[in-house]
Amino acid sequence: MTADTIDPGNGISEDAQSTPAGTGHGEASRLETIHTRLSADLVERLVGKVSIHGAVGGRTQSYSPLTGELIADYPASAPQDVRAAFETARRAQQTWATTPLSQRAKVARRLHDLLLERSEQLLDLVQIETGKARKHALDEVLSAAAATRHYAYASRGYIRPKRRRGVLPVLTKVTEARVPKGVVGIITPWNYPLALSVSDVIPALIAGNAVVHKPDTQTALTGLRLRELAVQAGLPEDLWQVVVGDGPVVGPAVIDNADYIAFTGSTATGRSVAQAAAARLVGCSLELGGKNAMLVLDDADIEKAVSGAVRGCFSSAGQLCISIERIYVHYTKYDDFLARFLTEVRAMRLGSGLDYTADMGSLTNTKQLENVTLHVEDAKAKGAKVLSGGRRRADIGPLFYEPTVLGDVKDIMRVHGDETFGPVVSVYSFKSESEVVAEANNTKYGLNASVWTRDNKRAREIAVKLHTGTVNVNEAYAAAWGSVAAPMGGMRQSGLGRRHGAEGILRFTEAQTTAQERLLPIAPWFGMSDQRWGALMLRSLKLLKTLRMK
Ligand code: NAD
């Protein structure tokens, strides 16, 4: 197949072949062309769904990190387009809000099945747009399906109207309802385009909102394909608008029109999103950066900790907000851990194949490559030891960088406290539990932590001392991330609010209390004086306390 071959089927050809990934760090592997998998008609169809209402926002392109080839050329949404997208979404939301919850959830149930049926196509798209290895793209499909299933079945329990005790028992009937915010603005980054879009968009829609979604241009096709599948699953088309373009232009336009904002991205941008939301007095959830620590205690299973560390540090080439960038190992286990870890890291296969032969893929954009290079070179210049990796691999693809392990890292180095967001980890040893907890907490971030021990009680005791939104025990990040019924998010500068679980959908609703007074008013009854009424009320309150009524 050549670059301009058109596959008239689902857009991704079944017979496409890719070259095998490299072995170790030494062997190059390269796809012949991304267009052997991605057909022009699929790209054209999806690009045609960008929300454009006649304004001219220019054009914007995305290129595959795997080969450097052009993926798509989009019309950029101008601020007027974004406003028009909100108007269309707002009209559609009026009907959607009155559609029974069971029907809204049904769309999610069908979407779940489509995500699984179309998984191969989605894996190709995610790999082509992000450059990650297929097994890491698979994490996205699995997590997207799990979150969709969760909200399809659990939303009723989270948001159905609930009876609450009234001020005067029996006489006051109180219902707490959860009404949709209206039109939610959702801004997502490029690193997990499928998983992160699903975990915000799906609960927002099930809660009765419309969505205006701004994916990163780099990964907009994945967002557009996801939307197309949701429409196929029964979602009214206008309910989910996708706008594409420059973050600093399109992002603020989304915030200016939204009734609520769910933002995922860097802490710096998150801060400006929060300021803009505050100026409009609309709420926002912010899922931001991290500098996540892994604690390997003296009683840890070292073999398991080593393979957990490889998954934790190098999934999606470390471009994962909850990935591990700092490993602390008890000094009695340090040498053993490090030797085994280095052996595994050095054996990792880099590759760009659209198959399962690579252990790690590419970085996604030039900014990432520059930042990773800057962190490693700065650390080297200030005395850190490169124990493995530390090199760009242009022979494999334009943005490949080796999985890198650093030792002798000091606090004067950027890599010590700043988020690298790449395949770079620093390894330290520690002596006492209090020392390692203090070190793990010695960061402005508070997203994820990982504790390795055979003692569950000890793990729980340490977990409560860690200032992070998630603590994974004997796993790096996947246990908490995959447990979609539990909230996920950051403390400190890692964010505000949570995705997943009850909080992940309640954020897209307003609580509305309806209190209906029956038979008697909340005022003196039957000509009672204010004084007698007051005495009656005081006695009643005493009684309610005695009866332990909540
Ligand atoms: P980024 O903040 O540059 O961009 C994120 C999104 O915001 C993109 O869609 C971008 O176009 C948009 N944007 C850019 N400027 C904007 C503005 N002024 N107003 C509104 N939107 C704007 O982040 P990035 O570098 O693309 O993503 C990587 C960062 O995201 C890392 O710091 C990572 O830790 C974080 N992240 C966090 C989570 C989480 O759940 N906590 C998940 C994934 C990524």
Candidates 269, 371, 499: which one to mutate for ligand 1, based on the most atoms within 8 Å of Cβ?
269
In terms of DSSP H, where are the helices of 383-528? 414-417, 433-441, 456-465, 478-482, 501-506
> DSSP letter at 367?
H
Contact 195, 130 (CB under 8 A): no
Rounded mean pLDDT, 193-198: 98
CA distances from 124 to 77, 118, 194, 228, 341 (A): 26, 10, 12, 16, 30
User: Which structure tokens are listed for 425?
Assistant: 């980890």
Of the chain, the percentage scoring pLDDT greater than 90 comes to 92
List, for residues 421-470, the tens digit of each pLDDT value: 999 999 999 999 999 999 999 999 999 999 999 999 999 999 999 999 99
List, for residues 518-538, the tens digit of each pLDDT value: 999 999 999 999 999 999 999
Q: Which atom of ligand 1 is nearest to the CA of 214?
A: 9
Handedness of CA 10, 11, 17, 18 (dihedral sign): negative
Is the pLDDT reported for residue 339 higher than 60?
yes
Q: Which atom of ligand 1 is nearest to the CA of 254?
A: 20
Which of 21-35, 49-63, 329-343, 489-503 has the least mean pLDDT? 21-35
Beta bridge partners, 213, equal: 186, 242
CA dist 288 and 322 (Å) reads 10
Distance of CA 440 to the CA centre of its chain: 22
Q: How far is the CA of 116 from the centre of ligand 1 (A)?
A: 27
Is the pLDDT reported for residue 22 higher than 80?
no
The answer, as to whether pTM is greater than 0.85, is yes
Rounded mean pLDDT, 150-178: 97
Candidates 60, 62, 264: which one to mutate for ligand 1, based on the most atoms within 8 Å of Cβ?
264
- Closest residue by Cα to atom 26, ligand 1, is 189
- Name the CA radius of gyration of the chain, rounded: 26
List, for residues 150-163, the tens digit of each pLDDT value: 999 999 999 999 99
CA dist 323 and 325 (Å) reads 6
Q: How far is the CA of 146 from the centre of ligand 1 (A)?
A: 23
CA dist 454 and 11 (Å) reads 48
List, for residues 218-261, the tens digit of each pLDDT value: 999 999 999 999 999 999 999 999 999 999 999 999 999 999 99
List, for residues 270-284, the tens digit of each pLDDT value: 999 999 999 999 999
Q: Which atom of ligand 1 is nearest to the CA of 490?
A: 41
Q: How far is the CA of 323 from the centre of ligand 1 (A)?
A: 16
Candidates 266, 284, 494: which one to mutate for ligand 1, based on the most atoms within 8 Å of Cβ?
266
One-letter amino acid identity for 51? S
Three-class SS state of 6: coil
User: Which structure tokens are listed for 170?
Assistant: 């029996």
List, for residues 31-47, the tens digit of each pLDDT value: 667 888 899 999 999 99
List, for residues 346-400, the tens digit of each pLDDT value: 999 999 999 999 999 999 999 999 999 999 999 999 999 999 999 999 999 999 9
pLDDT at 359: 98
CA dist 244 and 222 (Å) reads 12
Q: How far is the CA of 260 from the centre of ligand 1 (A)?
A: 17
- Closest residue by Cα to atom 18, ligand 1, is 248
pLDDT at 25: 52
Contact 299, 344 (CB under 8 A): no
Residue of 129, 140, 287, 402 with catalytic role: 287
CA dist 36 and 364 (Å) reads 20
Helices (H) and strands (E) in the chain, counts: 18, 18
Residue 80's region, left for phi above 0, alpha for psi from -120 to 50, else beta, is alpha
Domains, the chain: 32-288 (3.40.605.10), 292-489 (3.40.309.10)
Residue in 167, 81, 67 with CA at minimum distance from that of residue 521 = 167
- Closest residue by Cα to atom 22, ligand 1, is 247
User: Which structure tokens are listed for 498?
Assistant: 């949570």
pLDDT at 21: 37
List, for residues 340-356, the tens digit of each pLDDT value: 999 999 999 999 999 99
Q: How far is the CA of 264 from the centre of ligand 1 (A)?
A: 5
User: Taking all residues of the chain, what is their mean pLDDT, rounded to a whole number?
Assistant: 94
CA dist 425 and 293 (Å) reads 10
Beta bridge partners, 513, equal: 176
Is the pLDDT reported for residue 475 higher than 60?
yes
List, for residues 81-121, the tens digit of each pLDDT value: 999 999 999 999 999 999 999 999 999 999 999 999 999 99
- Closest residue by Cα to atom 34, ligand 1, is 289
CA distances from 106 to 4, 146, 205 (A): 38, 15, 12
Is the pLDDT reported for residue 329 higher than 50?
yes
Name the E strands within 31-148: 59-63, 70-75
pLDDT at 236: 98
Q: Is 287 a catalytic residue?
A: yes
First to last CA, the chain: 69
Q: How far is the CA of 442 from the centre of ligand 1 (A)?
A: 23
Residue in 264, 268, 266, 269 with CA at minimum distance from that of residue 249 = 269
Candidates 216, 261, 481: which one to mutate for ligand 1, based on the most atoms within 8 Å of Cβ?
216
CA angle at 136 for the pair 243 and 248, rounded to the nearest 5°: 25
Q: How far is the CA of 93 from the centre of ligand 1 (A)?
A: 27
CA dist 400 and 27 (Å) reads 12
Q: How far is the CA of 265 from the centre of ligand 1 (A)?
A: 2
Is the pLDDT reported for residue 8 higher than 90?
no
pLDDT at 242: 98
CA dist 517 and 29 (Å) reads 72
pLDDT at 16: 34
Of the chain, the percentage scoring pLDDT greater than 70 comes to 94
Name the E strands within 8-69: 59-63
CA dist 14 and 536 (Å) reads 78
- Ligand 1 neighbours, Cβ below 6 Å, are 187-192, 196, 214, 216, 247-248, 251-252, 264-266, 269, 272-273, 287-290, 321, 419, 421, 447, 490, 495
Q: How far is the CA of 346 from the centre of ligand 1 (A)?
A: 31
